[in-house]
């Protein structure tokens, strides 16, 4: 049974959780280690007091095959959007939770389903996008973030929160179909080409390594292996990479027996 985990300290997460309760009928259940716990026939819901970025402890206190984090999306350029992404750190930078050079287990089929249902439910002019893998928590349990934000208005808008909530409810009620499972390499933080491949061809992306971490060659193996579904191939945004990094990455993929596609 999937767990929807939201944070009381995050207004966007709270708004999405409240809207989900209007989409799915939950009943209050026994708390889990002091955290409010609700059950339904589609998913459980758990309430965190603190940040979702530091929720690596969930591996030890809940048993599930999926954790969904409805959350606020932050944009350095102030561009509002709906996004989905897995968690992890490609480098030693752990300012936003997790551990240095450690990736959580991605859930590519569920992420693709979330992306598709966001696109279907979106009645606004906000884009729907994958984001590259970033921030904590570090989890072995397959998990992903589904978000809205980028501006103060988008963070607090309950209409936007309802779109995310409806997408989650419909995702939980739907079959998860995909064409092929892939590891994305060489994109920007918002990989528009990868998003288009997902929506048009059914490519289910697991982790996405943006081009500014392409020199972290030792992370390619982890990027391939940290997925709930075996990777069929890598998808490389060719012009996004320096030839030196690209050749090293292809060499590492060859060692792992993973084919690649240029885009």
pLDDT tens, position by position, 65-108: 999 999 999 887 788 999 999 999 999 999 999 999 999 999 99
Strands, E assignment, 87-241: 128-130, 143-149, 180-187, 203-210, 233-236
Mean pLDDT across 1-11: 96
For the domain made up of 180-262, the CATH class stated in words is alpha beta
- Every domain of the chain and the residues it spans: 3-172, 180-262
Tell me whether residue 193 is exposed, middle or buried, using C-beta atoms within 10 angstroms of its C-beta: 0 to 12, 13 to 18, 19 or more. middle
- Going by pLDDT thresholds of 50, 70 and 90, the confidence category of residue 255 is very high
DSSP structural state of residue 213: G
Q: Of the candidates 67, 201, 188, 214, which has an alpha carbon nearest to the alpha carbon of residue 131?
A: 188
Residue 17 has pLDDT above 90, yes or no: yes
Tell me whether residue 170 is exposed, middle or buried, using C-beta atoms within 10 angstroms of its C-beta: 0 to 12, 13 to 18, 19 or more. middle
Query: Per-residue pLDDT tens for 167-208?
Result: 999 999 999 999 999 999 999 999 999 999 999 999 999 999
Mean pLDDT across 59-67: 97
Q: Judge contact between 11 and 155, C-beta under 8 A.
A: yes
Residue 154 has pLDDT above 90, yes or no: no
What pLDDT was estimated at residue 82?
A: 98
User: pTM above 0.75?
Assistant: yes
What pLDDT was estimated at residue 76?
A: 78
In the three-class reduction of DSSP (H, G, I as helix; E, B as strand; rest coil), residue 147 is classed as strand
Q: 66-94 in b/e burial notation, b at 16+ Cβ within 10 A?
A: bbbbbbbbebeeeebbbbbbbbbbbeeeb
Residue 121 has pLDDT above 90, yes or no: yes
- Going by pLDDT thresholds of 50, 70 and 90, the confidence category of residue 165 is very high
Please name the helix (run of DSSP H) or strand (run of DSSP E) that holds residue 250, with its range, or none: helix 243-256
Q: What is the mean pLDDT of the chain?
A: 96
Residue 18 has pLDDT above 90, yes or no: yes
Q: Judge contact between 52 and 13, C-beta under 8 A.
A: yes
Q: How far apart are CA 262 and CA 236, in angstroms?
A: 5
Instruction: Name the CATH superfamily housing domain 3-172.
Output: AF0625-like (3.40.630.50)
Mean pLDDT across 231-249: 96
């Amino acid at each position: 049974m999937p767990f929807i985990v939201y944070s009381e300290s995050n207004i966007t997460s709270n708004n999405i959780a409240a809207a989900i309760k209007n989409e799915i009928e939950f009943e209050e259940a026994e708390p889990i280690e002091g955290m409010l716990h609700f059950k339904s026939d589609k998913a459980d819901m758990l309430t965190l007091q603190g940040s979702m970025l530091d929720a690596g402890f969930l591996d030890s206190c809940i048993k599930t095959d999926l954790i969904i984090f409805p959350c606020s999306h932050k944009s350095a350029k102030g561009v509002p959007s709906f996004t989905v992404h897995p968690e992890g750190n490609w480098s030693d930078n752990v300012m936003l939770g997790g551990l240095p050079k450690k990736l959580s287990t991605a859930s590519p089929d569920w992420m693709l389903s979330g992306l598709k249902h966001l696109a279907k439910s979106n009645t606004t002019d906000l884009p729907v996008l994958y984001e590259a893998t970033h921030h904590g928590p570090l989890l072995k349990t397959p998990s992903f973030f589904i978000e809205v934000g980028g501006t103060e208005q988008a963070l607090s808008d309950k209409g936007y929160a309802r779109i995310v909530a409806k997408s989650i409810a419909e995702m939980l009620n739907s079959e998860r179909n995909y064409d092929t499972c892939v590891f994305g390499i060489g994109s920007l933080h918002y990989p528009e080409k990868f998003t288009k491949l997902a929506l048009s061809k059914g490519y289910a992306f697991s982790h996405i390594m943006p081009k500014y971490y392409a020199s972290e060659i030792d992370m390619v193996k982890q990027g391939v292996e940290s997925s709930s579904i075996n990777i069929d191939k890598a998808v490389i945004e060719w012009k996004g990479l320096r030839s030196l990094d690209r050749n090293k990455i292809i060499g590492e993929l060859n060692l792992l027996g993973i084919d690649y596609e240029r885009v």
